[in-house]
Amino acid sequence: MQAFVLVIEDEPDIALSLSRYLERAGYRVSTRHDGGAGLEAFLNDKPDLVILDLMLPGLPGLEVLRSIREIRSTPVIALTALTTQEDRLHGFELGLDDYVTKPFYPLELVSRVQAVLRRSGMNGVLRGRGGLNLDLERHAVKLGDATLELRPTEFALLAAFLRAPGRVFNRLELLEAVGDESRDTLERTVDVHIRNLRQKLGNDHGIETVFGVGYRYALE
């Protein structure tokens, strides 16, 4: 599975060279040149990671970040000429995952992208309770020594839970996570997947029902 990176950067040269380097490193890349278009692409395309220039025409970068954070916990790396301590702190308060100051070496940014994705579990192994291991590259799930056979939808659901333990997901968000956004069978579909997933994970499944809202994964 190729991770998908959204680059929001108004300087065409930087955006172009960045997307070339990222593509060479194996990522799928999309670029936008202002804050509004960037936010729209974020909502529509659901990237795995966002590279966000903070000095943007139109909607400022920190506003884009704030809007992103209201919706999803997608990792965001900021790109900026602003270097004051205050800006940095403000960015981190808003939920930035990393910061790169211009001018920068594209390869350095690529390695930051890899590190952030690894931390967020995009490229590697997600862990859950009771020795649960979900290997995103091999698409394999183990519970202790036992291999679990999960359907692709169950795998995607579990990955969404393990990326954000403790977070409450509503059913629509869970359908988005499995790539099924037809709303007609909304509740029942999710509930069936969850029931099957719980059964496969056993007694210590960790998937809690949040009454009237949806589900959450409890790490302990």
| CB nearer Ca ion, residue 55 or residue 186 | 55
Residues 22-81 that bind Ca ion (CB under 5 A): 53, 55
Closest CA to 9 of 89, 77, 83, 97: 77
**Least distance in angstroms from the C-beta of 116 to Ca ion:** 21
Q: Does residue number 97 form part of the binding site for Ca ion (CB under 5 A)?
A: no
**Least distance in angstroms from the C-beta of 37 to Ca ion:** 14
Q: Does residue number 10 form part of the binding site for Ca ion (CB under 5 A)?
A: yes
CB 10 within 8 A of CB 33: yes
| CB nearer Ca ion, residue 8 or residue 162 | 8
Radius of gyration of the chain (CA): 18
| CB nearer Ca ion, residue 103 or residue 144 | 103
| CB nearer Ca ion, residue 8 or residue 159 | 8
Contacts to Ca ion by CB under 5 A:
10, 53, 55
